[in-house]
Each structure stands twice: as structure tokens, then as C-alpha cells.
């Protein structure tokens, strides 16, 4: 640690108990940081079981920590190892701290969970705080409805952690859509550290992969139906397929992307239904979903954070059918965005009527693009993250060799 170095190091933590949202957000941030500064290297700590399926830019790498999964009863279990969850968490915490110790980052960005999964990041926060490392908490635009978040964060001791550890809180969204910590009794000092960046603009992959089994889809002539990671995408796939089965007249071709976490037998059942419809194609997963998004005439999705960013970035008319359990995050985002005219929304109840769903799908052809609504700073997220990061990285380098007062004092 006493050896002077000319490059900058950023460590990003993502707990990734399930789904793709956290991983894809952290990957987008990592790529933005290295694209903006050739002296930056980024290391991502992730529990995602499919992180190796994604391509990473030069100077971005990852450490895969043992995975866990959250059961329906709220309990966590080890994803693949036949060991107790407490042993798994102890391993994860040790790997995270040891990695941070050796990597010695100039900045740590923690995604969503202030203390990590069941407090696993606290030892790392203590270590890096002693070294004067800038500590950043990154939050998506919507967490959950305030009453639910208040209970959850009280149980996790999250609010005291904001005061004790974090120099800044970056909100990857805009207050016009949501304040993710609305309703929480936050100290004024914490509120002052909250900075809204705007949404994270997505780009086409630098090296698009092979065209694959969907190469023959007509450019600009199909609907992209995506349930994100797919673990909770069954209802969306079922209701959209039912619309095509009952009233395909006037509907464009569709490509369903099930997601890697949809159960295999559910995928097989949906694929069999789609095979009977000449205008519907299905695939399990594409790590470069941006290429499909750019080609589609419209998007049908649940409204997770990353899909919403892609809809805005590629300026696609979108129909969102948000889930309402176990979190209302997607519902809140979808309704706020619809009120601004960025997307259209179909409630879970209405979407179950195939005729209603079919009418909503047809309407997408006449729907305005998100860019028709002028919202200053809407897609400035990556630019602002880079600007904020460079401020801290510059301060960190000065402090490392000359001393600096932490901003959260």
C-alpha cells in the first residue's frame, strides 16, 4: 500500500442473490468508468452464477463469490454448496474482505445493500474506511414502497450504516420519477449526500456476437418480449402468448427471451406453445440483449431497472406489465414513467384478459417513443457517474500521498 501507482482501481460489490439486475447495472457502470479513463481498472465482486456468460471490457474483471438464493419464505440458502448458510456467508465475507485488502481500491461502490447481504460487507467497509478509501452506495431509482422499505432497512440496520460509512449515495435515476428513500427518517447529513445521476444510458456492444438463432427476424418488425432474468417472468410470457393464441390478427412477429433463471420445464411449455404460432420465436437468453432491443419495433417487459434503461436508451415504444409482489418496485417505476408519457402500462389484472393484452400490443405501433417527452438529464447517468467518480479518484490519489478530510465528517 505504500508503493506509489499511476493507475486507479475501483472495486464494485454486488450481492446478486438472484436475477440479472444488480450484475448488469454494475457491469454497465464498470464499462463506463474504463471507457472514460484509460488509467482505471475495475474489479466486480459478484455472487451471480452466470457472470461468466457476459463479456467484459479490457480492464474490467470479476471475482465470483459463492452464490446464495432467497427462498419464498425469506430465508437464504447456499445456491450450489451443500453447506450451512452461515458458513456460506462467512466464506463470502472473508473473500470480499481479502480481495479488498489485496486489490486496495481507490474507491468502493456498493450496489443497493448498504451492509451487503446479511452484513457481509461490514468488515470490508471497516477496513477501507480506516484507509480513507471513498465509499459510495449506488441505488436504483426505486427500491420499494416506503412502508416496506422502512421495515426492511430497520431490520438490516441500513440507515445507521449510511451515516457511519458512506461518503455519497448515487441514485441512478431522477427525482421526477422516484426518491428511492422516500418516507425514511434519514438524517439531514445523509440527505445531503444523495446525488441523482439520471438513468444509465446503454450502448450497443462494442463487439456484437454471432447473429444466432434469431438472425432471420425482420429488422424493426418484431416485438421483443423479455422477463429480465426470467425467475418471475412466467406470468408475462403466459399472458402475451395467450394474446397471440386468441387474436393474432394485426400483431407483429414476436421474439420471447425467457431469461436464464426461468425453470426449464416452464421454458419448454412456453416454447411448445410458441412453436404452434408461426409468428412467434423463443430463445432462453442473450447476453447482448441490446442488439435485440435495437432491432425491435417495440418492447413488452415487466419494467425492471435495466430493461427500463434500455427502453429509454434505444428509444423504443414499450408496454410494461409490472409485478407487484414480493416488491412493488416495478409497479412504482412503471406507473411514474407512464404518468410522464414514457411508456404504457397494463396492470397484472388487466393483462390476464387475452383480448385486452392483444389490444395493448396493437396499440404499441401508434405509441410515441420515449424521446418525444423532454426530461432534462434523463439519460445522463453514465456521464454523471464518470464525473463523480473522477472527483473522488482524484481526491483519493491526493489523500494517499498528501492527506484528505473525508466529506462525510
The pLDDT tens digits of the residues spanning 198-257 come to 999 998 876 655 444 455 665 558 999 998 887 888 999 999 999 999 986 789 999 999
Backbone phi and psi for residue 23, each to the nearest 5 degrees, phi listed first:
-60, -50
Q: Could you tell me which CATH number the domain at 8-201+379-402 has?
A: 3.40.50.2000
Count the neighbouring beta carbons within 10 Å of the beta carbon of residue 352.
15
What mean pLDDT comes out for the span 263-273? 95
Identify the CATH class of 212-372: alpha beta
What mean pLDDT comes out for the span 268-276? 95
The pLDDT tens digits of the residues spanning 4-33 come to 688 999 999 998 766 677 888 999 999 999
Sheet of 280-283, strands arranged across:
280-283, 254-257, 223-226, 298-301, 318-320, 344-345
CA distances from 193 to 125, 174, 190, 398 (A): 17, 15, 5, 21
3-state SS assignment for residue 408: coil
Most confident residue range from 45-54, 73-82, 337-346:
337-346
Residue 53 grid coordinates = 456468460
Strands 318-320 and 344-345, how do they pair?
parallel
Residue 309, H or E segment? helix 305-313
Whether residue 311 is predicted with pLDDT greater than 60 in this model: the reply is yes
In the chain, pLDDT over 70 holds for what percent of residues? 89
The band of 395, judged by pLDDT with boundaries at 50, 70 and 90, is low
Q: Which residue has the cell 463470502?
A: 92
Instruction: Pick 344 or 230 by higher pLDDT.
Output: 344
Q: C-alpha angle 161/164/169, rounded to 5°?
A: 70
The pLDDT tens digits of the residues spanning 147-187 come to 999 999 999 999 999 999 999 999 999 999 999 999 999 99
DSSP state letter for 220: T
Whether residue 99 is predicted with pLDDT greater than 60 in this model: the reply is yes
Where along the chain do the CATH 3.40.50.2000 domains lie?
Answer: 8-201+379-402, 212-372
The band of 72, judged by pLDDT with boundaries at 50, 70 and 90, is low
DSSP string, 148-201: HHHHHHHHHTHHHHHHHH-SEEEEES-TTT--TTTT----HHHHHTEEE-----
d(CA 176, CA 382): 18
DSSP state letter for 231: T
Q: Which residue has the cell 406489465?
A: 321
d(CA 97, CA 91): 10
Amino acid at each position: 500500500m505504500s508503493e506509489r501507482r499511476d493507475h486507479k482501481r475501483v472495486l464494485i460489490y454486488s450481492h446478486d442473490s438472484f436475477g440479472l439486475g444488480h450484475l448488469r447495472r454494475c457491469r454497465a457502470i464498470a464499462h463506463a468508468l474504463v471507457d472514460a479513463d484509460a488509467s482505471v481498472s475495475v474489479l466486480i465482486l459478484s455472487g451471480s452464477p452466470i457472470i461468466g456468460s457476459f463479456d467484459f471490457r479490457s480492464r474490467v474483471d470479476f471475482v465470483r463469490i459463492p452464490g446464495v438464493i432467497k427462498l419464498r419464505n425469506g430465508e437464504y440458502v447456499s445456491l450450489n454448496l451443500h453447506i450451512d448458510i452461515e458458513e456460506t456467508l462467512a466464506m463470502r465475507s472473508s473473500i470480499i474482505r481479502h480481495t479488498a485488502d489485496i486489490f486496495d481500491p481507490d474507491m468502493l461502490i456498493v450496489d443497493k445493500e448498504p451492509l451487503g447481504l446479511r452484513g457481509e460487507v461490514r468488515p470490508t467497509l471497516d477496513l477501507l474506511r480506516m484507509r480513507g478509501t471513498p465509499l459510495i452506495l449506488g441505488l436504483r431509482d426505486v427500491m420499494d414502497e416506503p412502508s416496506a422499505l422502512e421495515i426492511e432497512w430497520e431490520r438490516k440496520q441500513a440507515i445507521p450504516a449510511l451515516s457511519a460509512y458512506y461518503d455519497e449515495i448515487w441514485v441512478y435515476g431522477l427525482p421526477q420519477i422516484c426518491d428511492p428513500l422516500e418516507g425514511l427518517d434519514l438524517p439531514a447529513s445523509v440527505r445531503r449526500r444523495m446525488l441523482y445521476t439520471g438513468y444509465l444510458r446503454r450502448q450497443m456492444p462494442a463487439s456484437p456476437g454471432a447473429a444466432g438463432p434469431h438472425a432471420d427476424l425482420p429488422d424493426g418488425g418484431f416485438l421483443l418480449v423479455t422477463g429480465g432474468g426470467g425467475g418471475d417472468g412466467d406470468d408475462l410470457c403466459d399472458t402475451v402468448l395467450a394474446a397471440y393464441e386468441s387474436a393474432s390478427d394485426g400483431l407483429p412477429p414476436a421474439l420471447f427471451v425467457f431469461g436464464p433463471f426461468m425453470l426449464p420445464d416452464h421454458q419448454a411449455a412456453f416454447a411448445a406453445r410458441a412453436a404452434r404460432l408461426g409468428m412467434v420465436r423463443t430463445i432462453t437468453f442473450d447476453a447482448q440483449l441490446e442488439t435485440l432491443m435495437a432491432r425491435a419495433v417495440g418492447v413488452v417487459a415487466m419494467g425492471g431497472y435495466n430493461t427500463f434503461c434500455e427502453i429509454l436508451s434505444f428509444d423504443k415504444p414499450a408496454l410494461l406489465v409490472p409485478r407487484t409482489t414480493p416488491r412493488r418496485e416495478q409497479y412504482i417505476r412503471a406507473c411514474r414513467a407512464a404518468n410522464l408519457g414514457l411508456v404504457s402500462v397494463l396492470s397484472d389484472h388487466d393483462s390476464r384478459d387475452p383480448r385486452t393484452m392483444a389490444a395493448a400490443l396493437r396499440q404499441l405501433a401508434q405509441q410515441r417513443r420515449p424521446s418525444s417527452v423532454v426530461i432534462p438529464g434523463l439519460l445522463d447517468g453514465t456521464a454523471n457517474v464518470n464525473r463523480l467518480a473522477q472527483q473522488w479518484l482524484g481526491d483519493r490519489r491526493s489523500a494517499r500521498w498528501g492527506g484528505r478530510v473525508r466529506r462525510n465528517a
